[in-house]
Structure 1
Amino acid sequence: MRIDAHHHLWDLSSVHYPWLMEKGIVRFFGDPSSIQRDYLLPEFRADAEAMGFGASVHIQVGAAEPWAEAQWVQSVADQFPDWPLVQVAFCDLTSDDLDAQLDRLQTLPSVRGVRQIIGRAPGEDASTGTNAILEDPKFLTGLKQLGARGLSFDLQLLPELMSQTANVLAQAPETRIALCHAGSPYDRTPQGLRRWADELTALSNLPHVFCKLSGLGMFDHNWHAESVSPIVSTCLSQFGADRCMFGSNFPVDSLTSTYKETVSRHETLIPGAMLDDVFRGTSERFYRIE
């Protein structure tokens, strides 16, 4: 049974996603108009099962009311007990009521960790100022609290933030970290990939940091196996298969490839001896999927 370690679902009548429903705005990952509709588990599951998947990890995705999203995901998990579905919910680690937020999240059996995005894309980060969280001492305190509670942290950021982030993460060694989208190598020139690989070592040198092979089409809308081969090989080399896991990033990555294409391209790049870890074992252990 394979596990998809990074995907999203949404029922637009139950949860509002402001970023998703903006009309006429093309984002760094593409034109979202084709995914401005309900995307529910049966649709995702049909594509995933066809490629050998039988469980998955839902990642929070910018809901206007994160608690409503977490509750809705739990209701989906309850509705489909034959599909093991766990979730990474949103939580502001710098909030004054962090304990109360985490207490509430941990009433939901599907919650395994939280995600608070540090970096998305250069232009967007410059306008939103999300990078500033790294300088807030409450962020480190929150990370340590996650580890004490047995919760993980999903890390989304840009390569230029890796060294600074690694300095923070090194102080919270009990908190397992999942690096989303291979650290978002947005500059795909040879020089850009070399810089990304060099920066990545700051994170891969930390044994409690894991890496997701996901979202590789967000910064290259015409991606193919050859074009992302340096990214996949670098991640496998630095982290090892036992710290790498596959994630489809659907339906966002459906803007650039089908589910079958996404999986097949990764399959061609991962040595046979590593396939089971990347497509099942690592995410099964990391997210405690039974």
Structure 2
Amino acid sequence: MDLTDFDIIDAHIHQWDPHATPREFSKLAKLMRYLPVPVDIAAKLAPRGDREFVGDPSAYLRPYLPADYREDRAKTPVGSIVEIEVQWTGWKPDETRWVASLPFGVDTPALATIIGSADPAAADFGAVLDAHESASPLFRGIRTMVAHHPDPAVKSFAAHDGALTAPAFLNGFGQLAERGLSFDAWVYSGQLPEVTALAERFPEVPIVLDHLGTPAGVFGPVGKHTGHTADQRQALFERWREDLTDLAAQPNVVAKVSGLMMPVLGHPVPRRGTPTPVPALLGRVGPLLAHALAVFGADRLIWGSNFPVDKPITSLGGAAETVATALSEAGASADDLRKVFGGNAVRFYRIEPAT
């Protein structure tokens, strides 16, 4: 699939410097700078959930900044990006300020939008939103780390499920509507009904489902009892399909066709520097993308690379080619792909034309 004539917006990337900014993985990154142990040996000492989630920990142990993204982008014609919060442990608006200071738009794609971190259940939620908006005019919304998996050996990012429907969360969530801000919902697939309930309660808040709901283990075994048999994987896929159909009935929700190469989905992790061939990826993600196109339509899908998180499995160009090819095979036209790879992100994130 040739994307060279598209105006591509990569609507989901991460930037970090664990050596100079407060991240949940900063202590480990700093330790590994001085510990004379090969990263692959050290990784074997990490909890199973961490190993299976990251696939290859090397990207988390060093900075990932605009020049690194430019190198990964290679010949893929990405003109601008949407940066998504990632595990900042300090005052959350400082991450927005830090991202806005990065050298995007010189010999790198332009920074179009920043999605910051904030928790609607927090007592100071309104003040945090105000500080984000003061930190950068590109701030458009938030993501809250609520992904929780019932398998204790699959990495969770929240202490329990139900965060999206908790009274304190719901009491604060309406402040997004008051400010015209959006919500990026990243959950595991078992939490999709929570996203549906949230969208139904707040139809005035634009919500994007990140990574099609991350059905962990749908391609292979992860954790103690997730995706270990063909029957388990089929049941996981069937429940994901039904729950995604229900979510798509909410008109304020769009879906990101991103993160489909995350190792936690059960992808075999290839040797470092050897991306999985596109045909192999198509065989795995094709059914997910075909169903997403069927229930959301081309007007409500947004592409993002999720780099560098997806890098252990594929190249950025391979990720884009896989999604474009799968959607084309499912019936998407060239005009549909232009929407998925750019136009829909402009509308959803209210991206203003470059001046």
In 2, Cα distance between equivalents of 1:3 and 1:264: 14
Check whether the contact 1:187–1:193 (CA below 8 A) recurs between aligned residues.
no
Percent identity for Structure 1 against Structure 2: 32
Alpha-carbon shift at residue 84 of structure 1 (Å): 3.3
Change (3 A) 1:125 1:51: closer
Deviations 1:25-71 (A, max 9, x none): 21423231344111111221343362111011000011112332211
Check whether the contact 1:20–1:32 (CA below 8 A) recurs between aligned residues.
no
**Residue 44, structure 1, aligned to residue 69, structure 2:** yes
2:281 maps to a residue whose letter is H
1:198 maps to a residue whose letter is E
Secondary structure of the residue aligned to 1:96 is: coil
Alpha-carbon shift at residue 134 of structure 1 (Å): 2.7
In 2, Cα distance between equivalents of 1:287 and 1:21: 33
Change (3 A) 1:268 1:9: same
In 2, Cα distance between equivalents of 1:225 and 1:110: 34
1:10 maps to a residue whose letter is W
1:110 maps to a residue whose letter is L
**Residue 215, structure 1, aligned to residue 259, structure 2:** yes
Alpha-carbon shift at residue 191 of structure 1 (Å): 2.5
Output aligned runs, 1:224-235, within 5 Å. 224-235=281-292
Q: 1:61 aligns with which of 86, 96, 100?
A: 86
Task: Give 2:3's aligned residue.
Answer: none
Deviations 1:43-102 (A, max 9, x none): 213433621110110000111123322110011267759713311100011011111111
Secondary structure of the residue aligned to 1:28 is: helix
Task: Give 1:87's aligned residue.
Answer: 114
Q: 1:195 aligns with which of 239, 251, 271?
A: 239
Q: Which is helix-richer, 1 or 2?
A: 1
Alpha-carbon shift at residue 126 of structure 1 (Å): 6.6
Q: 1:206 aligns with which of 250, 260, 268?
A: 250
Secondary structure of the residue aligned to 2:161 is: helix
Output aligned runs, 1:6-155, within 5 Å. 6-19=12-25, 22=28, 24=43, 25=46, 26-48=51-73, 50-65=75-90, 66-76=92-102, 80=106, 83-107=110-134, 108-121=136-149, 122-123=151-152, 124=154, 128-155=158-185
Change (3 A) 1:50 1:172: same
**Residue 181, structure 1, aligned to residue 211, structure 2:** yes
Q: 1:281 aligns with which of 340, 343, 346?
A: 343
Q: 2:304 aligns with which of 220, 237, 247?
A: 247
In 2, Cα distance between equivalents of 1:21 and 1:193: 37
Please say which of residues 144-153 and 9-18 is displaced more in the overlay: 9-18
Change (3 A) 1:263 1:130: same
TM-score by length of 2: 0.76
Please say which of residues 22-31 and 100-109 is displaced more in the overlay: 22-31
Alpha-carbon shift at residue 256 of structure 1 (Å): 1.0
Check whether the contact 1:8–1:61 (CA below 8 A) recurs between aligned residues.
yes
Q: Which runs of 5+ in 1 are unaligned?
A: none
Check whether the contact 1:181–1:214 (CA below 8 A) recurs between aligned residues.
yes
Q: Which runs of 5+ in 2 are unaligned?
A: 1-6, 29-41, 219-232, 269-279
Deviations 1:131-153 (A, max 9, x none): 24234212123222102211100
In 2, Cα distance between equivalents of 1:192 and 1:86: 33
1:288 maps to a residue whose letter is R
Deviations 1:98-146 (A, max 9, x none): 1111111111212111000221544356794242423421212322210
1:160 maps to a residue whose letter is G
1:289 maps to a residue whose letter is I
Higher gyration radius (CA):
2
Q: Cα RMSD between the aligned structures?
A: 2.2
Deviations 1:217-246 (A, max 9, x none): 221323611110011111111111111011
Alpha-carbon shift at residue 285 of structure 1 (Å): 0.7
Check whether the contact 1:56–1:85 (CA below 8 A) recurs between aligned residues.
yes
Secondary structure of the residue aligned to 1:64 is: coil
Change (3 A) 1:49 1:175: farther
Secondary structure of the residue aligned to 1:253 is: coil
